[in-house]
Structures are given as C-alpha cells and as structure tokens.
Amino acid sequence: MVSAVKIYIKLCQDAHFAPNDDVIAALKTAGFSWRQNRSSQLQVTRVCDVETRKSGELNLRKQTLSCWTWESLGRVLSSSGAVFKVDLSDCLIPSQGVACLLGHLAHNTSVHTLVLRGNNIQSHNVGRVGALLKRNGHLKKLSLEWNSLGLSPEMFSEFCEGLSLNVSLESLDLKNNQLPPEVARDLARAISRNKTLKYLDLRWNNLGWNGGQLLQAALNKNTSLVKVKAQGNYIPQEIVQALERRTPKDVDHLAQSEFLRQRLAHLKNMEEQKLAQHALESKDKMAEVVKLEQERSKELEELARANERKLRDELERSNCRVSQLENLLSEHGAAISTLRTRLQETEADLKNTRDKVTDSEFRCSTVAAERDERVQALTSVSDALTFLEREMFYSTFRPTNRARLQRKHE
C-alpha cells in the first residue's frame, strides 16, 4: 500500500511546491515515516522499516498552512487507512481549504475523531459539514467548538439534515457557534431523528427559551442521547436542568440498552468466530480442491503437450511426404513436358516426311508421265524407223517383188 507521506510528496512534486516539514512530521507521527538524504531529496520508507506502530493521530493544531496544502492533505486523507484522529484546532483554515478537506474526508473510512475547533467555519462550509455527516458512516466524534455555524441559518439547516441522516456519530461539540433561536427547530428535528448520538454540547450559544423547549421535546423522542449540555443559551434554569438530567427510567433504559448491546456484541463475536472457523475450513477445502484442480490441470496440460507433440510429428511426416510427392510430381511433370516436346517434334518431323513423300509421289507420277510420253515418243520413232527401213528395203528390190512383198506384208 502506498504511504500517505509518499502521496503527499508526490502531490507537492507535481504542483512544484516544497513539502512542509510540519506536515511530514505530523504524518510520521500518525503512522508514516520519511527521511532526507544528503542531496535534500525526499525519500519515503515503509512503516515496517522504521516503526511497527504509530499513534494514528494527525495533529496539526495551530498550524498556519496554505490553501493548497490543506487540499493536498484532504487528498491524502481520502485514501489513507492509518489515521484515526485528525486534530486541526485553531488553524484558521481558509474557506477553500475547509471545503477541500470536508469533500475528501467524506470518502474516508478510518478517521473516527475530527477536531475542527477555532477555524471560523461559516456560510457554505456549514452545509459541507452536513454533507460530510450524510456521506461518512465511520465518524464517531466531531468537535466544532468556536466556529460560526449559526451565522447562516439556511446553511445550518443543511447541517442539521446531514446530522439527522448520520448513522455513526456519537459525540458532537457545538460550543460557541453563535446559534440563534431560528436554528433551534432544525436542530431539534435532527436530534429527534438521529439514532446514534450520545453526547451533545450546546453551551454558550443563543438558542433562547423557545429553543430550549424545542430541544426538550426532541430529547423526549431521542433514545440514544446520554448527556446534553445547554448552559449559557438564555434558557430558563429548569429547562436546562431537564435537558441535562436523565430520569431513573432513562438510566434503566440506557443500562438495559447497554446490556443488550454488549450481549449482541458477544453474540456477534461468537458468530464471527464461527464464521471465521467455517471460512477457515472452507478455505482448507478450497485449497484441497484448488490443489486437485491444479494437479488435474497439470495432467491435462501434459496430455495436451503430448498430443501436440504427436500431432506435430505427424504433421512433419505428412509435410515431408507431401514434399516428396510434390518433388516426384514435379519430376513427372518435367518428364511429361519433355515427352510432349519430343512428341511435338516427332509430329513435326512426320508431317515434314509426309510432305516429302507427297512431293516425291508427285514427282514420281510426273516422271512416270514423262517416261510414258518418252516411251510413246520412242515407240513412234521406232515405228517410223522401221517403216523407213522397209521403205529403204523395198526400194532396193524390183518393183514386182516389192509389190508382192508389200501385199504380203499387208
């Protein structure tokens, strides 16, 4: 958990303000520590490194601080769980600083005692105190002595509304707050509705006779108030005594209530112990279940890893086989391509051969035709020669013989 001192120093560094030594000392006393090195740079140490236990009280009485410092303290307190009591008596906190403090304290869950004595709280900040009471369910003691809550009846009405809705406050000090008679009705209504307030100090105000009667009527409806102080309010003495005196019936009722409260606390403690024991047993069982689940998860993870390795090996083998088949297919494809090329070349050669054969056949037919023509011509020439030879032969014989031979020949 980040310490309040570290948060405060970080806020100062971000805003370029020097940390206040008194504030750091107060935070140290309250439950946090710090040290300063030789280079004057602030360093934060854990509480366990210096002290194991601190007071839990943030005491800044009579400290005059800047508005920004009060705002940063409010931010620190809003997230701090180590401060149980905050004493800001006689600090004359600026109005804006009060507003910031009250706004951040509304979210605090550890502070049970808040002392704002002598800070001139008035106007809108009175309403903000009411908002604090409305939102904070852990504050038990609030001291507003020597302020000016009564100067603004409208804002005091908001304060009373917050008081009526509060569920934790047990002690409220409103001494010397200039409370006029006009605010008595709102205050009486808040007292009659509040169920936790046990101590109320209204001394040295100006509530008057009518205010005293309203408070007396409200006190008759309230079952939690044990002690009320109302001196110095211009209230008749008999009413003051009635307000400050509890009857035996009231005492018996309070004693019975206290006994019942203690009995209830005892029963609650026993129930918490039983619940704690049950929670411990449940925790042990849960630990066993978690252990079994972890073992089962480990087995499943190992099985998953084994299956993954097996699948990876099979995938690698498949990839290798696919690669081999792809290579073989590639080789076959190359061979087919080569054969196809050769086939195309062979077909081209065959076509050329066929063309040559056709051409040769054509030439042969042409030569044959020429031969036939030549043979026929030679035959004609031979016949002509034969005829000439006969003619020459016939011309050498006698005409009679020639005629006879000619007829014979014919």
- Tens digit of pLDDT for each residue in 347-393? 998 999 888 888 888 988 888 888 888 888 888 888 888 888 887 87
Strands (E), 210-285: 227-229
What's the average model confidence in pLDDT over 113-127?
97
pLDDT score for 49? 36
Share above pLDDT 70 across residues of the chain, in percent, rounded to a whole number: 87
Q: Is there a domain that residue 11 lies in?
A: yes
**Banded model confidence at residue 285, pLDDT cuts 50, 70, 90:** confident
pLDDT score for 52? 34
Q: Is there a domain that residue 49 lies in?
A: no
Q: Is there a domain that residue 135 lies in?
A: yes
The CB density around residue 169, as the number of other CB atoms within 10 Å, is: 24
Residue with tokens 């009175």: 126
Q: Is there a domain that residue 367 lies in?
A: no
Q: Is there a domain that residue 209 lies in?
A: yes
pLDDT digits (tens, 9 = 90+) for 231-263: 999 999 999 999 888 544 554 565 566 677 788
Q: Is there a domain that residue 231 lies in?
A: yes
Structural domain boundaries enclosing 26: 4-32+54-247
More confident residue, 180 or 378: 180
Domain count along the chain: 1
Strand partners, 45: 33
Whole-number Cα distances in Å, 251 to 115, 169, 225, 254: 29, 21, 11, 5
Q: Is there a domain that residue 323 lies in?
A: no
Residue 361: HSE in the Cβ half-sphere, 13 Å Cα cutoff = 5
Q: Which helix (H) or strand (E) holds 157?
A: helix 153-165
Cβ neighbours for 247, distance < 8 A, ≥ 6 positions apart = none
| CB-count exposure of residue 185 (10 Å: 0-12, 13-18, 19+) | middle
pLDDT score for 227? 92
Decide: 71 and 102 in contact? Cβ < 8 Å. Answer: no
pLDDT score for 39? 35
- Please determine, for residue 190, whether its predicted confidence score (pLDDT) is greater than 90: yes
Decide: 24 and 5 in contact? Cβ < 8 Å. Answer: yes
Q: Is there a domain that residue 360 lies in?
A: no
pLDDT digits (tens, 9 = 90+) for 13-27: 998 989 999 999 999
pLDDT digits (tens, 9 = 90+) for 39-60: 333 333 333 333 334 578 999 9
**Banded model confidence at residue 287, pLDDT cuts 50, 70, 90:** confident
Supply φ then ψ for residue 91, to 5 degrees: -100, -10
User: Domain holding 58: CATH number?
Assistant: 3.80.10.10
